[in-house]
Amino acid sequence: MRLIISSVSGEPIYEQIKTQIRDAVLSGELKAGEALPSLRKLAKELRVSVLTVTRAYNELADEGVVRNVQGKGCFVMDRGNEAMRRTLAGQAEQSLDEACAAARAAGMTPKELHGLLDEVWARRSS
C-alpha cells in the first residue's frame, strides 16, 4: 500500500491517511489481520508528525476498520465485524442519497432507479 499525501488539498493530512487506508481495506488491498506500518515508520515515510498518524489510526480503530494491539501494532479488522458493517452501511446510504438526488435531477422514476441499481449490482457481482 502506498499513501499519497497532498499538503495543498485543503483536507487534513490525518484524514487523507485515514481515507486511503480505509479504501485499501474496503478494496481488499489490505487483508484482515495484516499489520499497518508502525506509527513512527509511517510518520517518517510521509514526513509528518507521529501525532498525525496516531490520530488517523485511532479514528480508524473507532470506526472498526483496524484494531490497536498494545505493544504489537495496528491490525486490519475483518470486513464482517459489526463496526465495519455499520461504517460500510453508512457509506452505502450516503452514496444512495447522492444517487437519488442525481436520479431526481435526471427525471428518473423510482422504478428506473431500481432497475439501474439492479444492473450495477449484477455487474459488481460478476
- Amino acid at position 114, single letter: H
pLDDT, tens digit, 9 for 90 and up, residues 6-64:
989 899 999 999 999 998 988 889 999 999 999 999 999 999 999 999 999 999 999 88
pLDDT band at 67 (very low <50, low <70, confident <90, very high): very high
pLDDT surpassing 80 at residue 126 = no
pLDDT, tens digit, 9 for 90 and up, residues 89-102:
888 899 999 999 99
- CB-CB contact of 68 with 27 (8 Å): no
CA–CA distance, 18 with 103 (Å, rounded to integer): 30
Kindly give, in sequence order, each residue whose CB lies less than 8 Å from that of residue 58, ignoring residues fewer than 6 positions away.
68
CA torsion, ordered 70, 72, 74, 80, to nearest 10 deg: -90
Q: What is the mean pLDDT of the chain?
A: 91
Cell numbers of 116, please? Answer: 439501474
At 51 the pLDDT is 97
At 124 the pLDDT is 79
Place of cell 488491498: 29
pLDDT, tens digit, 9 for 90 and up, residues 73-89:
999 988 766 777 787 78
Cell numbers of 99, please? Answer: 444517487
